[in-house]
Amino acid sequence: DAGVIQSPRHEVTEMGQEVTLRCKPISGHDYLFWYRQTMMRGLELLIYFNNNVPIDDSGMPEDRFSAKMPNASFSTLKIQPSEPRDSAVYFCASSFFSDTQYFGPGTRLTVL
């Protein structure tokens, strides 16, 4: 059974460019979470959805970040414009109930 799928696995871009990260949750899961991980701040929750509806986006750092979940099998996290301080590993996770979460392999983003 496939786990959470994320793409791309690595992204290198220049400051000011738009970045779109993609996630396919585990089939049947009704919660989807976006996290960011850095050495300095650890793992931070950015936003999460329940049944495709955004529930809590208080972790989204600023208006440059946006996330959508148009259907139960797909979500995107967009950064526009990107900045060097956005460099991090971005994880998507999904769960059936919100406590036991399964993580994707992550997207390693580098903004030059």
Partner 1 sequence: RKEVEQDPGPFNVPEGATVAFNCTYSNSASQSFFWYRQDCRKEPKLLMSVYSSGNEDGRFTAQLNRASQYISLLIRDSKLSDSATYLCVVYTGTASKLTFGTGTRLQVTL
Q: List residues near partner 1 by CB under 8 A.
A: 31, 33, 42-43, 45, 48, 50, 55-56, 91, 98-106
Residue 63 or 99: which CB sits closer to partner 1? 99
Residue 74 or 103: which CB sits closer to partner 1? 103
Residue 12 or 81: which CB sits closer to partner 1? 12
The dihedrals phi and psi of 79, each to the nearest 5 degrees, come to -125, 120
Tell me how far, at minimum, the Cβ of 16 lies from partner 1, in Å: 27
3-state secondary structure 9-61: CEEEECCCCCEEEEEECCCCCCEEEEEEEECCCEEEEEEEEECCEEEECCCCC
